[in-house]
Structure 1
Amino acid sequence: MCGIIMLGTNGATWFNTAVLVTCMRNFPSDRGVVVGLLKGFIGLSGAIFTQVYTAIYAPHTGPFLLFCATFPPMVALVSMLYIRPIDPPRNKDEADDHKFTMLYITGLVLAFYLMCIILLQDFFVVRKAASQFFMFIMLLILLVPGAISLHPADGRQKIHPDTDSLFVKTPKMLKNSIRNPITVDVGHRIAELRNDGAVNNGGLPGSPSKSKLRLGSDYTLTQAVRTEDFWLLFFAMGCGTGSGLTAINNLAQMAESLNSKSIGAFVALVSVWNFLGRLGSGYISEFFMKRSGTPRPVFLLIVQALMGSAHLLFASSVPSLLYGASILVGLAHGAHWTLMVATSSELFGLKNFGALYNTLSISSTIGSYVLSVKLAGYLYDQQAAAANVRRCKGPQCFRLTFLIMALVCLIGCVALVRLVSRTRLVYRDIQRLKAASR
């Protein structure tokens, strides 16, 4: 069983990495928006497959597991025939923005629809025929993105090295007519834009731009782990996503300790707002970064503060406040993943992004293990032992855990303040460079 779980979780990581790297290289000017969409639909995928199981396979799990084992690989094999590198447009087309907007609307409609279905199935007995109808409507909504991609304005111009785009083709690529755009060293281009050779990391005015890697350049994993910025982002992610996963994993047990009968509602709220956090954080951070050069870590700081606020609401143990806490923890946890992906790609480049992204993701595993197993599990067992019961009852079961996690988020906010101060000039110059390429 351990081996099966290892294969399943690593398989999910392979899918995740392949999709993120491909889409961000194809749409480099809209990284936040693209990551928000991808991460958002990943967050909804569990609810989507649950509806398929309920409508077709329930209560038989064997055929459903066979479906899960065969359908995703088939999708991947078919996708290999169609997915290709795309040249960035020479001038940004408003039609592309409208398409992203339509995708966002589709995602919001799907999330709201699934939330209603989940709550309906949680509170009432729903016949199989009704579940099949619900699944049919869900599949129709999922087909909408395919219609958007067939819009006649879906054309992209070829790009040449003498343009102002962030992306160029190497001589070898031009020679072989390969349509795979790669990132130019953005650190060097920013230095040229500022005309002083000192963008970040202590460069001196007038110094050669090749003397030192700057944030925005294509880092290798070895080069990235030697920077303070990498570890600030790593630590902040561990604090935010680690404490968020601890709250989500213990949500049902915490509600049970408070004699709450709204466990299903809490789980549904976390799931839907997790999606909205992934979706919204990408769109909002992209908007402000393009408009005013606001560093994306600023939004990581905001959602980390929201996560800490959610922990304080959970620590209050007031039943009516648990709904708001569930919303905040779902929103903040989802937003962390979108913002981390976009931020790391902008600071360390796309060339080695797969290795960088998955190394940064380890922070969530470490944070979750420390806070969930070593903190929440230990304190829960201590309270149960003190009361000489098997299952802990009362607000004291998790109160200290959530207070400590709120403090952890505060420390994470301090790290993000430092990261914002170190990346402020970089994001300002990236914004100017993008404006010049339009």
Structure 2
Amino acid sequence: MALQWLTLVATIWLQSVNGTNSSFPAYSSELKRLLSISQLQLINLASASDAGKLLGWISGVAAAYLPLPLVLLVGAALGLVGYGLQYLFLTHHLSSLSYTHVLFLTVLAGNSICWINTVCYIIIIRNFPFDRQISVGISTSYIGLSAKIYTNIVDVVAPTSPSERAKAFLLLNSVLPLVVSVLVAPFARDAKVGKCKKLLAVGFFTTFVITVITGVFAVGTAISRFLPRYMILVGMLVMMIMPLVVPLVEKIRENLQKKCLIRVHDEHFTGFASMENGGKLEEEIGERDIFAVEEIGPKVMLRRVEFWLYFFVYLFGATLGLVYLNNLGQIAESRGCSGTSSLVSLSSAFGFFGRLLPSLLDYYFPKSKLLLSRAGEMGAMMIPMCGAFFLLLNRQDMSLYISTAIIGICTGAITSISVSTTTQLFGTKNFGVNHNILVSNIPIGSFLFGDFAALLYKRGTNNVHGDGNCMGERCYQTTFIIWGSLCGLGTLLAYFLHVRTKKLHSHA
């Protein structure tokens, strides 16, 4: 049981350093200066990291045939090459890199994120088969802290110089995931232990408390720097170590239990066998969301109506939310809102808790899943998201803050729910490939929705200002209407998928 919790801690640490693409704004100006590229080329460079997800299915294939520790190290090595060569370019150790080279390296670095994510998801699916959503939500919420962790380190090692900060971010992006991957690689495997519901409940409760405290600390120190920079970094490192409390306590409990079992055996009590491996394992699992799901391969999946419903639900939900958050700076500027940094912190915080929300609901209301499928849960999260896009038509700053909070929490929640949705619809055997095929709609959506919004913004620029900037609510007015309508369509598709899912699992 202790090893089981150690694998969860391993995924938490991996996810906490896997959001390397979030630090692109920190070094993008330096790349633009050294490469002498236009703003449009810089935008394409920013999208290149998402383009790496188009090849994410390769990591799924690798995970099906190679040991997970090896898959993890391959992913970290890709990041080392992708970010490391860019770091050498910024430090002038490489002088021959062209824009095309940097574009390719960015795609490679973005693809490395898929490899680490795939390993994390598979570890959780194998080691927490009856509590996947709870475990996934806890671990993936930490990816929202990546930017905070990297920033805290850079604040200490390179507090002032923009050039040195850019180099520090790229160096961390290349090295830190590799270091953590090497550290946790021995735990990237099947724990092969019994899973007792009551015992897991205690561990999950403790992990929830630690995660929430970590999130509150991260948000509090981001909004108000009431501590020195080095103290904030130390605090975050302590918060990252705290999840080890759970496997440590579990190990102590196991040792005490073994002593009790020996005593019971010596006194010739009956029922000794029923206490083996932690008690009534199978009986205490409970009536959970265990469906006899058909294991479906990627080729068959692509021919299923359920997949395409699911694909467009995710496209008009989580992907659309990510596009909004990626354009948040430009949106705030066009509305004359000066609190861009606070908006980014707000979206990050609510995204963190959004990823955690489905796990909390699963923990406290486990039987609710019998009433609402995963697709239904995704649709439920898209309803307020749809309203948030239309709320943005209001020119007040408060509407911008409220909408950003709603979109952040809903996007995070849908991203978390999607892992369990993939396993519920298509099984666990081919999860690595199937889920990476699904999330390939992120770069597709980023290109379609992002470029369309840019075209409308440019049209507003031509009509309003000649300085390249569009000011006023009209800049994104049509975009918000279109995004809100697409989100509404996605909600309807989620309902259809929910109906089909309930029908497929009516005998569960």
Range class of TM-score, shorter chain: 0.7 to 0.9
Hey, what does 2:253 align to over in structure 1?
A: 153
8 Å Cα contact 2:358/2:413 also seen in 1: yes
2:382 is matched by which residue type in structure 1? Answer: Q
Partner residue in 1 for 2:399: 321
Within-5 A mapping of 1:10-409: 10-58=111-159, 59=161, 60-61=164-165, 62-89=167-194, 92-121=196-225, 130-151=228-249, 152-153=252-253, 187=292, 216-285=293-362, 288=365, 290-291=367-368, 293=370, 294-373=372-451, 375-389=452-466, 390-409=468-487
2:150–2:169 contact (8 Å) kept in structure 1: no
1:378 deviation in Å? 0.9
Q: Give the number of aligned pairs.
A: 374
TM-superposed CA distance for 1:317, in Å, is: 2.2
| Runs of 4+ with >6 A deviation | 155-159, 163-166
Q: How far apart, in 2, do the equivalents of 1:154 and 1:73 lie?
A: 32
Code of the aligned partner of 2:247: S
Unaligned runs of 5+ in 2: 1-101, 256-274
Shift of 1:429: 4.4
The structure with more helix, counted as a fraction of residues: 2
Q: How far apart are the structure 2 equivalents of 1:138 and 1:224? A: 41
C-alpha distance in structure 1 between counterparts of 2:391 and 2:368, whole Å: 34
- CA deviation digits over 1:325-379, x for unaligned, max 9? 1110100111111111111112111111000110000122222221111x21111
Describe the shift of the 1:51–1:429 C-alpha distance in structure 2 as closer, same or farther (beyond 3 A): farther
Q: Deviations over 1:154-212 (max 9, x none)?
A: 699679xxx7899xxxxxxxxxxxxxxxxxx953xxxxxxxxxxxxxxxxxxxxxxxxx
Cα-to-partner distance string for 1:207-240 (whole Å, 9 max, x where unaligned): xxxxxxxxx1211111111111111110100011
How far did 1:83 drift? 3.6
Q: TM-score, normalised by structure 1?
A: 0.80
Change (3 A) 1:55 1:426: farther
Question: CA 1:369–1:158 in 2, change beyond 3 Å: closer, same or farther?
Answer: farther
CA contact (8 A) 1:32 1:286 kept: no
Report if aligned partners of 2:376, 2:494 keep a CA contact under 8 Å in 1.
Answer: yes
CA contact 1:270–1:327 (8 Å) conserved in 2? yes
Aligned equivalents of 2:485, 2:118: Cα separation in 1: 32
SS in 1 for 2:420: helix
What is the percentage of aligned positions where both structures have the same residue?
A: 25
Check the 8 A contact 2:291/2:424 in 1, yes or no: no
Instruction: Judge which range, 230-239 or 254-263, deviates more.
Output: 254-263
Question: What is the RMSD computed on CA atoms of the aligned residues?
Answer: 2.5
3-state DSSP class of the match of 1:259?
A: coil
The Cα of 1:148 is off from its aligned counterpart by 1.3
Give the conservation status (yes or no) of the 8 Å contact 1:31–1:286: no
- Relative distance call for 1:109 and 1:421 in structure 2 (3 A) is same
- 1:429/1:29 CA distance change after superposition, 3 Å: farther
Post-superposition shift, 1:66? 2.6
